[in-house]
Amino acid sequence: MDNVRLLLIEDDLVDQMAFKRLVANGELPSDCEIAGSVALARDILSRNTPDVIISDYLLGDGTAFDILDLHIDCPVIITTGAGDEEVAVKAIKAGAYDYLIKDAAQNYLKILPVTIEKAIRQKRNEERHRFLSGREYEEALLAGGLGFEETMRLIARAADAESPVLLTGETGTGKSRAAKAIHYGSRVRTMPFMGINCAALPENLIEAELFGYRRGSFTGAVADRKGIFELAEGGTLFLDEIGEMPLHLQSKLLGVLEDKQVRRIGDESARHVNVRIIAATGVDVEHSLGRTFRKDIFYRLSVIRIHMPPLRERRADIPELCKFVLREIAEGRDVRLPDSEVAKLVSYEWPGNIRELKNVLERAVILQGRDLRPSTLLGSPALVCGPSGPARSKGQIPTLAEIEKNHIRQSLEIMSRNVTQTAKALGISLSTLKRKIKEYGLK
Ligand SMILES: Nc1ncnc2c1ncn2[C@@H]1O[C@H](COP(=O)(O)OP(=O)(O)OP(=O)(O)O)[C@@H](O)[C@H]1O
Ligand SMILES: [Mg+2]
């Protein structure tokens, strides 16, 4: 029970002592506060949310129901004196996680640590599964095994909070996907999720995109336009590659975060905005801090900081990720990934992280038919889409359309879904690309 914070609400000094003994023996986590009354508990809870609350039923200034009424987002275990069983049942109905009857021999203290552990495990599972339901949130689903649990927990916490979040991690580790997961797990999930990639736009455009402008404020500004801050009103604004934002815009952004006001370029007065900010950076923060990444904005944004670990540090998750990604891309086709292949994927370095894993599996599905051997595609450039090796049987020849579709999909991914840049890279016009995106159902 690492990193677990308990709150015991108990007015009986003898029971308090017994509890303290469990803590001293290491049977319960040391981060444990004790409140002798409902009032004291309220005070503690107004400052911190524990992971589990253990509350005696009858307290000097109230009952455990007063605690349940606070609807704190953590399991509450109720302890009652013998004879209060009926109350205990009511407590469960009112949302308590479990109850323990205090017996004279204090046997309940033996069950307490296990009960607390079970409560914590269940809560963490719930946090994980919040993201695993609902079709419209598909793009925000996060797959992962044990190596990802801590990150998932942080993401769930971030979803519950309203403060800014800073996501860090190498390319392809899932920062953008995590930003969506946070938004769709949050209270404002039905409000807009808007994103802007600060590295993909020239300096003058970023400012116009972020804050909007008034017609005539510069050449080309033919009509008034809202910035992305206003468009995200009530929802979440995802600032990708924040470390690449020009310094003077970083300080302007800081101003917006502090007073929640944006002023369109050319406008005289500012408007109030209410948006939740999630920022991401792939650059080494410690290195760029104070140079290309302003310290003040960094601290303002990293109220919650989540580091997405590289895939090579969470190899145990690779089998689970493969299953998930294959389900996503095989679209009902019958494909098989033998264990020997999974083992090879587990031992690979994955410099491009989950994006690379996804690309390799996509190419395998397109090029290899039913029995996948993605390990043969490792280390080859992600964009080579044509059959790199000879097709081994007639049934394995992908259609040109399949190859084109996949090539467009991967190019979009690499260009962070910027269609203008993707069209340029592919050497086709924007309208052609848009038509093909529609045709292949890629949006
Ligand atoms: N936990 C996950 N489960 C399933 N798919 C994932 C997961 N994490 C990331 N992906 C997928 O992997 C690819 C790369 O993820 P994403 O674009 O979020 O990475 P990123 O860290 O934002 O990369 P970059 O720094 O290049 O912007 C995407 O296709 C994404 O959908
Ligand atoms: Mg990204």
- Whether pLDDT at 384 is above 50: no
Separation of CA 175 and ligand 1 centre (Å): 6
Same domain, residue pair 408 and 392: no
Separation of CA 377 and ligand 2 centre (Å): 24
Q: Is 282 near ligand 1, meaning CB less than 6 Å away?
A: yes
Same domain, residue pair 260 and 152: yes
* The predicted structure's pLDDT at residue 383: 38
88-95 contact pairs (CB < 8 A, 24+) = 88/57, 91/57, 91/64, 91/65, 94/65, 94/68, 95/68, 95/71
Same domain, residue pair 145 and 281: yes
Same domain, residue pair 430 and 301: no
Cβ atoms < 10 Å from Cβ of 242:
28
Q: Is 171 near ligand 1, meaning CB less than 6 Å away?
A: yes
Residue 315 located in a structural domain: no
CATH number of 412's domain: 1.10.10.60
Same domain, residue pair 206 and 231: yes
Same domain, residue pair 248 and 361: no
- Whether pLDDT at 16 is above 70: yes
Same domain, residue pair 103 and 139: no
User: Which one, of 33, 34, 18, lies nearest residue 104 by Cα?
Assistant: 18
**Separation of first and last alpha carbons in the chain:** 43
Atom of ligand 1 nearest to the CA of 416: 27
Kind of pairing between the strands at 165-168 and 304-307 = parallel
User: Which one, of 179, 76, 181, 71, lies nearest residue 123 by Cα?
Assistant: 76
Same domain, residue pair 272 and 153: yes
Same domain, residue pair 93 and 154: no
Q: Is 151 near ligand 1, meaning CB less than 6 Å away?
A: no
Residue 314 located in a structural domain: no
Atom of ligand 1 nearest to the CA of 167: 21
Whole-angstrom distance, CA of residue 41 vs CA of residue 9: 7
pLDDT 10s digits, 120-179: 888 766 655 443 344 445 566 777 777 788 898 999 999 999 999 999 999 899 999 999
Compute the average pLDDT of residues 394-415: 78
Whole-angstrom distance, CA of residue 173 vs CA of residue 148: 11
Q: Is 324 near ligand 1, meaning CB less than 6 Å away?
A: yes
Task: Tell if the pTM clears 0.95, that is, is over it.
Answer: no
Ligand 1 mutation pick, 138, 177, 323, 414, max ligand atoms within 8 A of CB: 177
Residue 66 located in a structural domain: yes
The domain boundary residue, chosen from 101, 123, 145 = 123
Helical pair 318-330 and 339-347, crossing angle rounded to 10 deg: 120
pLDDT 10s digits, 322-370: 999 998 888 778 899 999 999 999 999 998 899 999 989 988 988 888 8
Same domain, residue pair 152 and 206: yes
Most confident by average pLDDT, 22-31, 279-288, 421-430: 22-31
pLDDT 10s digits, 268-303: 888 889 999 999 998 788 888 888 899 999 999 999
pLDDT above 70 as % of the chain: 90
* The predicted structure's pLDDT at residue 2: 61
| Helix, strand, coil tally for the chain in percent (to 5) | 50, 15, 35
> Which residues span the domain enclosing 237?
135-309
Same domain, residue pair 139 and 243: yes
CATH number of 360's domain: 1.10.8
pLDDT 10s digits, 96-125: 999 998 888 888 898 999 999 989 888 766
